[in-house]
Amino acid sequence: MTDAPNPNPPPPSNGQAPADIPANPPQSALRLHRELARAWANDRGIWGQITAVSHTTLGLRFMATAFVFFAIGGILSMLIRAQLATHQGAFLDTELYNQIFTMHGSIMMFLFAIPMLEGLGIWLLPKLLGTRDMAFPRLTALGYWCYLFGGLIMLTALLFGVAPRDGWFMYTPLSDATHSPGINADVWLLGVTFVEISAIAAAVEITVTILRQRAPGMKLTEMPLFAWYMLGTSAMMLVGFPPLIAGSVLLEVERAFDWPFFDPLRGGDPLLWQHLFWLFGHPEVYIIFLPAAGAMSTIIPVMCRTPILGYGAIVAAILGLVFLSFGLWVHHMFTVGIPHMALAFFSAASVLVAVPTAVQVFAWIGTMWKGRPELHLPMLHILGFFLTFVMGGLTGVMLAIVPFNWQAHDTAFVTAHLHYVLIGGFVFPMMAAATYWMPLITGKARVKGLGEAAFWVILLGFHGTFFIMHLTGLLGMPRRIDVYPDNPEWVGLNLTSSIFGFVLTIGFAMFALDLILQACLGQRARRDPWQAPTLDWAMLVPAPNYNFAALPLPRHQNMPARDAIQALARGEGALAGAPRARREVLVTSASHARPCHVALLPGNTALPLVLSGSIAVFVLLMLGSLYVLAALALVPVAVLVWVWVRGMAPMGDLHPVAIAPGLHLPVHHRANSPTLAQSGLQALLVADGALFASLLFGVAFLSVVTQGPPPPPSAAGGGALGLVLVGIVCALALAAGSAGLARRRSALWPWAGVVCNLVALALLAWVAGQLDDPRAHARDALRAAMAGYVGVHILVATAMAAFTADQFRRGEIADATGRGAIPAWANWQMFTAVTTGITVAVFVVQAGVT
């Protein structure tokens, strides 16, 4: 029996210490399960797959799709190895080989590694943190569909022979319109940028979920290490991916409209592309490594029956890696002629990054030494990681030394190092994670034998393939060649690598078959088969969409999973059941996880699919050079975004929700504390700021470093232009002030914000008409690009102000507690004003306007 609801609940409270929150009385576990299953279930059939927004469904879908792309990338690698097995290389012609080579690297980086870690984080984090879903379920679904459509665009291009062919790093000038005509390079630039929507969405999701949705009382300093790893990963994605997006957009604009960002004859510089790419590319290595390391920090203590050694040291190492990873990008550019002082700095930083990595490795070894390791299949894959990744780390230190780098740069030695780091540091841990969490995914136990055989075949095939490539590299074999008729000394080594490459492929096929057999033929798995201490096993097997019938309180978080299962299933935690037939999650404070309010999450919807399809139409029209139609295609995108945000308006019962006896919290529409949406926008603005900083980096690089021809005299100078630029900033400052005053619940201020933004937009349009021809010089092209950046942000600010005014009209923020979109508009408006002010300062300095 359950207590009858209190007809006069106490006022909302969020000041109660989580340790003092009383548990709900025990209830019928079966009734709670049925109640929650109805509220959190996917719709049936194919429509249910289209409209699902559950983190469990989407996380598995991310990982399954990434595995399919991994298989496709593996097939392409077999074609590469078949081509290199003989010195004549008669298997593929040069054009097709270059496409396959480029697509292999692009698939493995952008369509396998990043989505796989996203999928693992989306699926696992709520289970470890003691919550029911990610912060923004529809955003998760949008990210998946953008990832799928972007990947399909790239694969379709390969089938039709127009795939990118300039390497997965697309160096200019090889990838400009002159040296790479056709749409091949455009497929990469637009496809990868499309896929990056998924990465930014996942980074926002993960950041907000970790900071705002931990179980009550789960302090930052006490949360599972996997969450720390994913928090570091998401921070790196928010800062590391925008430079690639900026570079891709600039290169696509150069190819489409002849704006010379990278043309040295008109003041551009090909090295600007390399800087922007590797500002993403080197943090990318640690973005891939950190989630895999998080999986190992979760699995090793369970396999060794002892707590992890050095929790604090590992957290410090994670933070150190996040910081240091952004100071290493130039070590990919040691041979381009940068100054010796820069060579010394980046070489030292590249060696220093080995320290936090070593801290983690020694902590794992110490945990195994302290405990009693049990050689289950996940532990075998972890041992494979140690053997492989440490060797890759050692060759990485070698490549960090400038004289050796000059000798080995752009040879097969670098290819071997890359694969030792990525397969050793990511694929082996991901295989350990798959075999460890498969019972929770499928509810089935392993069919023993095949998985162990697959591990040994993979280990043998991998080292046979890539260890020998170190030798071919030291013998001078360059990367990205398809024939080598004048180098018979490479034939035997390449043939051996190719044979072992096929052995490696057989091993991966065996691994996939093992997972399929477990899902189809395995016996029913018992709950918590590993006897783990973590919350991910304190639930039904397979895991339900809602994860927990009641959210774990501190007393449950400190229990072994086998002891917490029954208590949570009976609703003895917080926010038990779904008595209001809606998807409710508890929002807590960022540091100490004090309960703040209850967020009502959206249910199943096809809106993410429709929105991502509209974006895909825009991308396809851009590929077809139909730029006017592409601009018109953004209209339905804007309409769908408006509909999306309208769906966040308050509906139904908004009374305080009973969390535990004596504790009632408001729903997020009536909360005084920052909502999930506000936290998400702040995370998005971090990425937006990184994008703006990338443009400023381009301005500084071309102004200070590039030794190209000087820009022609500017016709855009003069006091009138300066006054108009100042007027834009003043108008945006007034709009920001209106956003602040709108908190007084007056509909006048949003309309004032609309007017001020429109004035700023009109002034900016006049300024754009006065700017020099962006095709004449890179300086002018970057000015136009920054003006475009400002214009987009003012346009969005105008829409947000209008949306806020519409909320006033609808009465959604008429009372004293409803705030609607006001905080989001205020944050965006302030960001727009600040970035516009910086842009104006750049214009004034460059134009000589005082």
Question: Does the pLDDT at position 577 exceed 50?
Answer: yes
User: 78-87, 97-106, 731-740 — which is least confidently predicted?
Assistant: 731-740
Question: Does the pLDDT at position 7 exceed 70?
Answer: no
SS3 3: coil
Residue 774 DSSP code: T
Summarize pLDDT for 486-509 with one digit per residue, the tens.
898 999 999 999 999 999 999 999
Question: Does the pLDDT at position 515 exceed 80?
Answer: yes
Give the Å distances, CA to CA, from 334 to 279, 321, 341, 345, 405: 14, 21, 12, 11, 7
Contacts of 811 (CB under 8 A, 6+ apart): none
Structure tokens given for 80? 């590469």
Please report the pLDDT score of residue 160 as a whole number.
93
Contact 124/226 with Cβ under 8 angstroms? yes
- Give the separation between CA 242 and CA 200, rounded to whole angstroms: 9
Distinct helix (H) and strand (E) counts, the chain: 27, 4
Contacts of 269 (CB under 8 A, 6+ apart): 262, 701, 702, 705, 706, 708, 778
Strand partners, 585: 599
- Give the separation between CA 308 and CA 366, rounded to whole angstroms: 9
Contact 809/834 with Cβ under 8 angstroms? no
Query: What global pTM score does this model have?
Result: 0.94
Contacts of 418 (CB under 8 A, 6+ apart): none
Element (H, E) at 526: none
Contacts of 369 (CB under 8 A, 6+ apart): none
- Give the separation between CA 249 and CA 407, rounded to whole angstroms: 33
Between these two residues, 612 and 7, which has the higher pLDDT value? 612
Among residues 798, 841, 825, 783, which one has the least CA distance to residue 685? 825
* CA of residue 807 relative to chain centroid, distance: 32
Residue 245 φ/ψ, nearest 5 degrees: -60, -45
User: 70-74, 217-221, 443-447, 711-715 — which is least confidently predicted?
Assistant: 711-715
Structure tokens given for 26? 């025990």
Taking the CB of residue 11, how many other CB atoms lie within 10 A of it?
7
Matching residue, tokens 């990610």: 134
- Give the separation between CA 234 and CA 211, rounded to whole angstroms: 11
Among residues 279, 504, 249, 289, which one has the least CA distance to residue 392? 289
Summarize pLDDT for 10-54 with one digit per residue, the tens.
434 444 667 678 888 999 999 999 999 999 999 998 999 899 999
Contact 227/210 with Cβ under 8 angstroms? yes
Element (H, E) at 103: helix 94-106
pLDDT confidence band for 815 (50 / 70 / 90): low
Please report the pLDDT score of residue 14 as a whole number.
45
Contact 42/52 with Cβ under 8 angstroms? yes
CA dihedral defined by 486, 489, 490, 492, rounded to 10 degrees? 130
Taking the CB of residue 222, how many other CB atoms lie within 10 A of it?
14
Summarize pLDDT for 765-774 with one digit per residue, the tens.
988 888 888 9
- Give the separation between CA 596 and CA 610, rounded to whole angstroms: 33
- Give the separation between CA 169 and CA 281, rounded to whole angstroms: 9
- Give the separation between CA 628 and CA 211, rounded to whole angstroms: 42
Please report the pLDDT score of residue 722 as a whole number.
73
Average pLDDT, the chain: 90
- State the DSSP string of 668-711: GGG-SSPPHHHHHHHHHHHHHHHHHHHHHHHHHIIIII--SPPP
- Give the separation between CA 155 and CA 104, rounded to whole angstroms: 11
Strand 663-665 and strand 583-588: pairing? unpaired
SS3 135: coil
